[in-house]
Amino acid sequence: MNASRTWRGSDLARQIVVLSALSFMLIAAVIGAGAFGNSAVQDQQGGALDTDGSYLAPAGPAFSIWSVIYLGLIAYGVWQALPGQRTAPRQRSLGWLIALTMTLNGLWLVAARFGTLLLTVLDIVLLLAALGWTFEVAVATRDARGGVADSVLIDGVTGLHLGWVTLATVANTAAFLTTVVPPSWEEAADAIGIAVLVVVAVIGLAIAWRSGWRITPALALAWGLSWLAVERFTGEPQSGPIGATALVVAAVVLLPPAIVRVLRLIRPTVD
């Protein structure tokens, strides 16, 4: 038997930890959605996390991407628990990390419900770092992928999670700062918002470049940016400059990996 595929006690422990982290995240999500008589996330923290909480908050429909991410994580949790995945090299490399991202995801909802706005910022920054680490390991181990399920449930779901949380971190931080900075700062909201979105563009391109132009983080980031633009054009607080910049940044982060993806389909040797 290949020594690398020999069963270890830590393999079963990893599978159990992943399922436990998934269960915790889902329970937190149900509570965060307003079940059991609780207020929904957007109504917590004095409404600071709602779509009108800052100039960098996306419109409500943007958050439907969580349904895709959660379904992907549920599918991953079930799939990784199969006996055939117990000793898989990629599971050994990534299972613990994905469990960490699930736990931090759930803790953010706990912080939003029972903690402070500052705690939500600290948690989501940790979640973003954990997702970046996880996605980097996923890219580094791509040669060990074991088929379509491996690619979709590890690379695809982690990429979507990373891309969305990148923008969510910006929105969460902006919501917190809106509650603590002097009201006079609103006069410079357009300039600050545009500057932040330029940084988001740089981060989005850096993720794409670092991952070999994987498209899933860009898809999630562009999705969020597009709905941010919708909210700034049609919601409150309104800002045409920030809305227009968000659309430009969405195109900037999405087009390069999309072009590379098309080229790879046309010419498979393109790396």
Q: What is the pLDDT of residue 271?
A: 46
In one-letter notation, the amino acid at residue 31 is I
For the chain, residues with pLDDT lower than 50 are 1, 3, 270-271
In one-letter notation, the amino acid at residue 222 is A
Q: What is the pLDDT of residue 268?
A: 65
Q: Which two tokens stand for residue 240?
A: 């045409």
In tens, the pLDDT along 79-91 reads 999 999 999 999 9
Q: What is the pLDDT of residue 34?
A: 63
Q: Which two tokens stand for residue 252?
A: 């900037």
Report d(CA 126, CA 173) in Å as an integer. 13
Q: What is the pLDDT of residue 47?
A: 63
Report d(CA 70, CA 66) in Å as an integer. 6
Q: What is the pLDDT of residue 190?
A: 94
Q: What is the pLDDT of residue 4?
A: 60
Q: What is the pLDDT of residue 147?
A: 82
**CB-based contact 232:246 (threshold 8 Å):** yes
Residue 50 has φ and ψ, to the nearest 5°, of: -80, 175
pTM for the model: 0.92
Q: What is the pLDDT of residue 3?
A: 47
Q: What is the pLDDT of residue 43?
A: 60
Q: What is the pLDDT of residue 1?
A: 41
Q: Which two tokens stand for residue 208?
A: 């794409």
**Cβ neighbourhood burial of 188 (10 Å; 0-12, 13-18, 19+):** exposed
